[in-house]
Chains A and B, each alone.
Chain A
């Protein structure tokens, strides 16, 4: 059986979904039964669920995020054109 500290440490190191099934089972069992750390660590797991879901949806949210300034884009275009020509001539040499 895991101790409260082991559960907290495991959750602070990685997302519980990435843990091996065996470890996940004991972790969930501990959290269901423990009157000391159960409520707290359940919220940590809920937060991990939420962040995982956010990362899956992030590509959709990204379309409405701020866009790069046109001036900066123009400079960057020039820079990339010069760099990629340099890289190509470097490859030929």
Chain B
């Protein structure tokens, strides 16, 4: 005997209304991750179609908007996988030297003496403008470091998953994340201090 399906706690919006209600919301996220309007639109479309297919599994414990956002995580990973397939990730000479360096092998760090921050970013965490600048700075990080950063940090994929998607080793992923962090720091220092 099958138990009757419990009523969802939040109303299920019919898919015909999804574009108007959640289209821009999801597109905003997709654009921030993919930077390409076509890829972002495809990503939203794939999310909606996957949402329709999985709608009977929607448990209604949270707003459908967040449920669709959850589905979109996988679609963003798919889009990045596609773009990595087209432009294969090659290890740059500079990164190769870092991977082979004594410090990296001994301690797993890139340098013992990184430049300190030119300002204390914590002071601005409550300032909405700071996060807008932060987002622009993420956009300025070069691929594939940006892609690694998006997958690992912003989309919460595991190290193993990111390595599989980007076809790289965990050590190289670490180097890419280090690149992303340092480029982000330099560009935040330039853009935030100049925006005052």
A91 to B15, CA, bound (A): 15
| Complex interface bits, B167-190 against A, C-beta within 8 A gives 1, otherwise 0 | 000100110010001001100000
Q: Is the CB of B154 within 8 A of A55?
A: yes
A positions within 8 Å CB-CB of B: 3-5, 7-9, 12-13, 35-37, 39-41, 43-44, 46-47, 49-51, 53-55, 57-58, 60-69, 72-73, 76-77, 79-81, 83-84, 87, 91
A57 to B117, CA, bound (A): 22
With A12-B108, A13-B159 already in contact, the answer to whether A79 and B25 are too (CB < 8 A) is no
Residues of chain B lying within 8 A (CB to CB) of residue A69: 37, 41
Residues of chain B lying within 8 A (CB to CB) of residue A49: 122
Q: Is the CB of A62 within 8 A of B28?
A: yes
The smallest beta-carbon distance between A62 and chain B, in angstroms, is 4
The smallest beta-carbon distance between B78 and chain A, in angstroms, is 18
The 8 Å CB contact of A76, one of B45, B108, B117, B185, is B45
Q: Is the CB of A72 within 8 A of B41?
A: yes
Q: Is the CB of A43 within 8 A of B131?
A: no
B positions within 8 Å CB-CB of A: 14-16, 18-20, 23-25, 27-29, 31-32, 37, 40-41, 44-45, 48-49, 52-53, 55-56, 106-114, 116-117, 121-122, 125, 128, 131-132, 134-135, 153-154, 159, 170, 173-174, 177, 181, 184-185
**CB closest chain-B residue, reference A55:** B154
Pick 20 A–B contacts, CB within 8 A, sort by A. Answer: A4-B107, A7-B108, A12-B170, A12-B173, A12-B177, A40-B112, A40-B114, A44-B181, A57-B131, A61-B135, A62-B25, A62-B29, A65-B32, A72-B41, A76-B19, A77-B19, A77-B20, A80-B16, A80-B18, A87-B15
With A5-B107, A40-B114, A51-B153 already in contact, the answer to whether A77 and B16 are too (CB < 8 A) is yes
Residues of chain B lying within 8 A (CB to CB) of residue A60: 128, 131
The smallest beta-carbon distance between A57 and chain B, in angstroms, is 5
**A43-B114, A50-B125 provided; 17 other pairs, C-beta below 8 A?**
A5-B107, A8-B174, A36-B109, A43-B185, A47-B185, A51-B154, A57-B131, A60-B128, A60-B131, A65-B28, A65-B32, A68-B27, A68-B41, A69-B37, A73-B19, A79-B45, A80-B18
A91 to B53, CA, bound (A): 11
Q: Is the CB of B24 within 8 A of A54?
A: no
A50 to B135, CA, bound (A): 12
A24 to B14, CA, bound (A): 45
Residues of chain A lying within 8 A (CB to CB) of residue B181: 43-44, 47
Q: Is the CB of A76 within 8 A of B52?
A: no
The 8 Å CB contact of B19, one of A7, A62, A80, is A80
